[in-house]
Amino acid sequence: MGRQSKKLSLFNTLAILKKYSDEDHRLSQAEILDLLKRDYDMEVDRRTIKSNLMDLIELGYEIESQETTRMIRNEDTGEVEESTYMSSFYLIRDFSPAELRLLIDSLLFSKHLPYSQCKELVEKLETLSNKYFRSRMQYISTMPEDKTNNRQVFYNIDVIDEAINRNKKISFKYLEYGTDKKQHVKCREDGTEREYIVSPYQMVAKEGKYYLICNYDKYDDVSNYRVDRITNIEIVDEKAKPFESLKWSDGKRLNLASYMKKHVYMYSSADNTVKFRIVKPMISDIIDMFGNDVRFYDETEDTVCVKADVNESAMVQFAKSYAPDVVILEPERLREQVKQELLKGVETYG
């Protein structure tokens, strides 16, 4: 076999292992021979297959096999000897089917990617497995209406990432839906399109949406913007404002884990220590939303009090959403705010 033919048979052997093999679908050398003939019209002998498999292992591919021992007669001595040969080959992959399904599901249920781009990514992930892998691709056809229409998402991510690395500000315009169910650039009261200039700090995924954590240039606090609603983005040739210079930072750099625990709804407002009472069946929900740093106290048979460091706007929304199972105790002004907004809601429905 010539050098070029050898390379081609090696490449095709790898392609067969990728397409047809896994732990539940092992291939013998004879089966690889048949598939080479059927799929690539290539005829080789078993020695070539064995050589290809050994070469692939040397090249760093993880190929699992089963060792089988048999007794054969030595043609030179005539004595029966024990011989070990390899069979039942399959390629070990970087991702297991369960891991791929997890990645694909995360795409299917994300809301920050346009439908067409999500579909393309799912198809690429599927190629990392074999013909037996069954993703949930069919479910994506039921979800396009839930997905963003902004096809600039990947470009936005690239620009924001570059700006963060270069410690530069960015400018952009922001999209919002109108009653026509279409996205339009957000405008000022005089009808002119509004431009945002921000210092970008981090991008995070929250509840299927992608957010930019940043500082809006006119203020001294933190803002969160949906990445999929950003358009006309550009890097500004001006240094970003350090996060630790903002009034809510306590002179410290952004601690993303702490920030996400406090901002359960990605609202932008002051953080505070809040005490509230919950019914005990909500304990798991509280830990899921606010993390293990919450403190429980004054436990009764039916309720328990909670102390947590949270974003004030998020806490107000949380208390309204879960009333009467959640009742704010302190600070009093937040308790009063929730009370007045709930009363207003009762009046509206009354």
Q: Which amino acid is at 97?
A: P
Same domain assignment for residues 247 and 194: yes
Same domain assignment for residues 281 and 322: yes
The predicted pLDDT at position 269 comes to 59
Same domain assignment for residues 58 and 30: yes
Same domain assignment for residues 179 and 226: yes
The predicted pLDDT at position 16 comes to 92
Average pLDDT, the chain: 83
Q: Is residue 261 part of a domain?
A: no
Same domain assignment for residues 190 and 250: yes
Q: Encoding tokens for residue 170?
A: 């960015």
Same domain assignment for residues 181 and 138: no
Number of H helices, E strands in the chain: 10, 12
pLDDT score of 146 more than 60? no
pTM, two decimals, is: 0.56
Where does a domain end: 202, 226, 254? 254
Exposure string of 273-310, with b = 16+ CB inside 10 Å and e = fewer, is: ebbbebeeebeeebeebbbeebeeeeeeeeebbbebbb
Terminal CA-to-CA distance of the chain, rounded, Å? 88
Same domain assignment for residues 140 and 198: no
What is the rounded CA–CA span in Å between residue 198 and residue 176? 18
Cβ atoms of 265 and 316 within 8 Å: the answer is no
Least confident of 73-87, 152-166, 176-190: 73-87
Please provide residue 312's backbone torsions phi and psi, each rounded to the nearest 5 degrees.
-60, -45
Better pLDDT: 208 or 304? 304
The predicted pLDDT at position 197 comes to 94
The residue written with tokens 């037996």 in the block is: 132
Q: Is residue 153 part of a domain?
A: no
Which of 133, 142, 111 is closest to 205 using CA atoms? 111
Beta bridge partners of 337: none
The residue written with tokens 């089917």 in the block is: 97
Sign of torsion, CA 335 338 342 343? Answer: positive
Mean pLDDT, rounded, for 189-197: 92
- At a CB cut-off of 8 Å and minimum separation 6, what does 158 contact? none
Q: Is residue 158 part of a domain?
A: no
Q: Is residue 264 part of a domain?
A: no
Same domain assignment for residues 122 and 194: no
Where does a domain end: 203, 222, 254? 254
Please name the helix (run of DSSP H) or strand (run of DSSP E) that holds residue 89, with its range, or none: strand 80-91
* Helix, strand or coil, per DSSP, at residue 37: helix
pLDDT band at 317 (very low <50, low <70, confident <90, very high): confident
pLDDT band at 335 (very low <50, low <70, confident <90, very high): very high
Q: Which amino acid is at 148?
A: T
pLDDT band at 147 (very low <50, low <70, confident <90, very high): low
pLDDT by residue (tens digit) across 117-140? 777 888 888 888 888 776 444 444
Cβ atoms of 231 and 193 within 8 Å: the answer is no
- Max mean pLDDT among 2-11, 78-87, 260-269 falls in 2-11
Number of domains in the chain: 4
Better pLDDT: 135 or 163? 163
pLDDT by residue (tens digit) across 197-227? 999 998 887 766 788 988 888 777 888 888 8
The predicted pLDDT at position 222 comes to 83
Q: Is the peptide bond before 97 cis (omega within 30 degrees of 0)?
A: no
Q: Is residue 283 part of a domain?
A: yes
Q: Is residue 204 part of a domain?
A: yes
Length of the chain: 350
The predicted pLDDT at position 136 comes to 45
pLDDT band at 193 (very low <50, low <70, confident <90, very high): very high
Beta bridge partners of 307: 275, 295
CA dihedral 265, 270, 275, 276 (to 10 degrees): -30
Q: Is residue 259 part of a domain?
A: no
> Residue 70 is part of which domain span?
3-91
Q: Listing from the earlier edge strand, what are the strands of the sheet with 303-311?
A: 295-297, 303-311, 271-279, 326-330
Q: Is residue 54 part of a domain?
A: yes
Same domain assignment for residues 56 and 13: yes
Q: Which amino acid is at 64?
A: E
* Cβ neighbours of 222 (radius 10 Å): 24
pLDDT by residue (tens digit) across 245-301? 887 777 778 776 676 666 655 556 567 889 999 999 889 888 877 878 889 999 999
Beta bridge partners of 16: none
Least confident of 34-43, 178-187, 292-301, 322-331: 178-187
Same domain assignment for residues 103 and 87: no
Where does a domain end: 72, 91, 110? 91
pLDDT band at 143 (very low <50, low <70, confident <90, very high): very low
| CA-to-CA separations, 198 to 155, 191, 236, 266, in angstroms, rounded | 17, 22, 9, 17
Better pLDDT: 317 or 268? 317
Domain containing residue 35: CATH number = 1.10.10
Please provide residue 110's backbone torsions phi and psi, each rounded to the nearest 5 degrees.
-80, 155
Mean pLDDT, rounded, for 294-319: 89
Cβ atoms of 195 and 172 within 8 Å: the answer is yes
Same domain assignment for residues 235 and 311: no
The predicted pLDDT at position 138 comes to 46
Domain containing residue 344: CATH number = 3.30.70
pLDDT score of 174 more than 70? yes
